[in-house]
Amino acid sequence: VGDERRAAEEAVRRCYSTWSTTYHDEYYGEGAAHPPVHRDLLLRLLADAGARDVLDAGCGPASFLRHLEGTGIRPFGFDLTPEMVAEARRVLGDDDAVWEGSALDPEAFHPPGDPGRRFDAAVCAGVLPHIPAGTDADVLGFLAGAVRPGGLVAATARNELFGLFTLNRYSRDLFHDLIDVEGLRAEALPEEAEGLEQGLAAMDARFRTDLPPLRTGEDGAPGYDEVLSRAHNPLALRDAAEAAGLREVRLLFLHFHRLPPLAGDAVPALQRRASLAMDADPSDPRGLVMASSVVVTGTAP
Ligand SMILES: C[S@@+](CC[C@H](N)C(=O)[O-])C[C@H]1O[C@@H](n2cnc3c(N)ncnc32)[C@H](O)[C@@H]1O
């Protein structure tokens, strides 16, 4: 295991270690900023696939898996963060259903005592942001390897292209990324340097770079925006899924925003209603820029 991966994983572990008992409430509970539309979509996908069991890679405190109760689908999962594993075992009441492991390690995708086991489906929600650039196809390949041939794979990511709609810090980051600002600075002739900085400043001034507020951590642990938390270009994610050997690859979109967030804040109830109405159709292509999350799905070869 490389030093860089080890350091990134340690920061992520510390970030989530303080979150095991509150995470479900924050993201799935009554007070959640957004209803858990990814839960409903994943449940629908699993039902449509006729899955009888599922592996959740990066299962957190069984925040999704606990909602399988009554569906007849048997939950399994693993997570990088020991506190999450302990909470998931407690919630599911089954120590063997959850184990510790990293999504960057192919062995984690099978139960410790049963390395040959294949599941009907594998899901992975909220984990791809935390894995290093260049490893997406690896993780998607491990998910494919965890399921039987024809089994379902579904993985969620943050949609980088949403920055084209948000007019905030995400836009600035996306523009800088697309432009490759450091690369362009290196290409600029000495007499162009000042003009380039002026142009970039004029561009950045278009965006509310103070929004959204940075998510900092608790009890000295780093917050979500202080650890590796990448957003993905959905089209590149589709390529990675195909490179991983998945078949029938599709992109679905979640957490639609009818207005850019900073405009929606002026009419919160309308924004929520109109945005949720768009979430009813995850295949709406406007999601490429209007949805903050993307789900890549496919079937295993
Ligand atoms: C945003 S939470 C999502 C939890 C759950 N999947 C859900 O959707 O409700 C992300 C989880 O991924 C875990 N995680 C982050 N990086 C991981 C990795 N490389 N391998 C396994 N789990 C990881 C964290 O510990 C955390 O519990």
Q: pLDDT of 279-301, one tens digit each?
A: 999 999 999 999 999 999 999 99
Under the banding of pLDDT at 50, 70 and 90, the label for residue 33 is confident
Longest dimension (CA), the chain: 68
Under the banding of pLDDT at 50, 70 and 90, the label for residue 16 is very high
| Ligand 1 atom 12 nearest Cα | 58
CA distances from 15 to 9, 80, 81, 202, 225 (A): 10, 11, 9, 35, 10
Report pTM.
Answer: 0.95
Which of 6, 12, 87, 136 should be mutated for ligand 1, with most atoms under 8 A from CB? 12
Tokens 């390395």 locate to: 115
Mean pLDDT of 259-281: 95
Q: What's residue 292's pLDDT?
A: 96
Q: How far is the CA of 114 from the centre of ligand 1 (A)?
A: 22
Residue ranges of alpha helices (H) inside 50-128 are 82-92
State the closest ligand 1 atom to the C-alpha of 39, by its place in the atom list counted from 1: 8
Q: How far is it, in rounded angstroms, from Cα 291 to Cα 209?
A: 19
Under the banding of pLDDT at 50, 70 and 90, the label for residue 276 is very high
Output b/e per residue, 121-140; b: 16+ Cβ within 10 A.
bbbbbbbbbbbeeebbbbbb
Q: What integer best gives the mean pLDDT of the chain?
A: 95
**Residue 254 backbone dihedrals phi, psi, to 5 degrees:** -140, 155
Tokens for 100? 């510790």
